[in-house]
């Protein structure tokens, strides 16, 4: 998993690390938080605690690589909503009193991590993501604190903002970003397209305009 994190991080231009109008985690902060969650899980003192912590680790991992809302991840059924062969996760949200679903591709290592957990704890099938939202928020805050992340950035939705920023700054078309995030309007997605002067200059330079 650490290799996956490093590979993803290396694809982000260093010039795109400055903060924008939308609060988000820097590359270093996101990687530190991922490492903190993974270490917390790996260093579980016994099998029972590892079983419990594994659910929080997998929930965080899914948040990170789907850009989903926390509630969407907590509604996941690991036996129905994950395509382990294709590396896709189906997310469901309620819009105007109707359930709307979207399918988000993720690295195969993510779904493999879920499959590995279920192989160890088969009785958790269909229950992996069924956590209390408040409990996950508390664990998330504590892991952020350990990772040295400021309190104002220590909430699960910051991972969604960070995913959106990284997609936009990685030149992913806005319509694809919209579909991944599950936005109803492209205008909502466009808030992530605000760049600093330094970033704008670097983008123009990278594309040969200056």
- In the chain, where are the structural domains located? 25-206
- CATH number, span 25-206: 1.10.443.10
More confident residue, 93 or 95: 93
Integer angstrom CA distances of residue 188 from 177, 182, 192: 11, 10, 8
Res 4: pLDDT:
61
> Model confidence at 208, in pLDDT bands (50, 70, 90)?
confident
Residues of the chain above pLDDT 70, percent: 85
Angular region, 208: left φ>0, alpha ψ -120 to 50, beta rest:
left
User: Is the separation of the CB atoms in 63 and 158 below 8 Å?
Assistant: no
Higher-confidence residue of 201 and 197: namely 201
Q: Which residue has the higher pLDDT, 166 or 13?
A: 166
The closest of 106, 133, 128 to 116, measured between CA atoms, is 128
Two structure tokens written together for 47: 């099998």
Residue 191: the pLDDT is: 81
**Bridge partner list, 82:** 89
- Note the helical H segments in the chain: 2-10, 27-42, 47-66, 70-74, 108-120, 133-146, 157-169, 174-181, 186-189, 197-206
Does 14 score more than 50 pLDDT?
A: no
The pair of three-digit structure tokens given for residue 145, joined into one six-digit string: 């604190």
- For residues 67 and 171, give the distance between their C-alpha atoms in angstroms, rounded to a whole number: 16
Report field, pTM of the whole predicted structure over 0.75: yes
Q: Which residue has the tokens 């330094």?
A: 198
């Amino acid at each position: 998993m650490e290799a996956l994190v490093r590979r993803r991080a290396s694809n982000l231009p260093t010039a795109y690390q400055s903060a924008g109008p939308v609060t988000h985690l820097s590359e270093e902060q996101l990687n530190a938080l991922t490492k903190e969650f993974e270490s917390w899980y790996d260093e579980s003192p016994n099998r029972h605690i590892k079983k419990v912590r594994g659910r929080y680790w997998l929930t965080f991992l899914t948040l990170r690589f789907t850009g989903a809302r926390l509630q969407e991840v907590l509604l996941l059924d690991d036996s129905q909503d994950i395509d382990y062969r294709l590396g896709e996760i189906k997310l469901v949200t309620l819009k105007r009193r109707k359930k709307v679903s979207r399918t988000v591709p993720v690295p195969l290592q993510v779904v493999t991590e879920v499959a590995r957990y279920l192989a160890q704890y088969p009785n958790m099938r269909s229950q992996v993501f069924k956590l209390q939202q408040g409990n996950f928020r508390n664990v998330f805050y504590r892991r952020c604190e350990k990772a040295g992340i400021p309190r104002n950035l220590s909430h699960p939705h910051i991972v969604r903002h960070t995913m959106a920023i990284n997609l936009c700054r990685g030149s992913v078309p806005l319509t694809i970003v919209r579909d991944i995030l599950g936005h109803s309007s492209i205008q909502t997605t466009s808030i992530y397209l605000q760049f600093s002067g330094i970033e704008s200059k670097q983008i123009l330079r990278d594309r040969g305009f200056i």
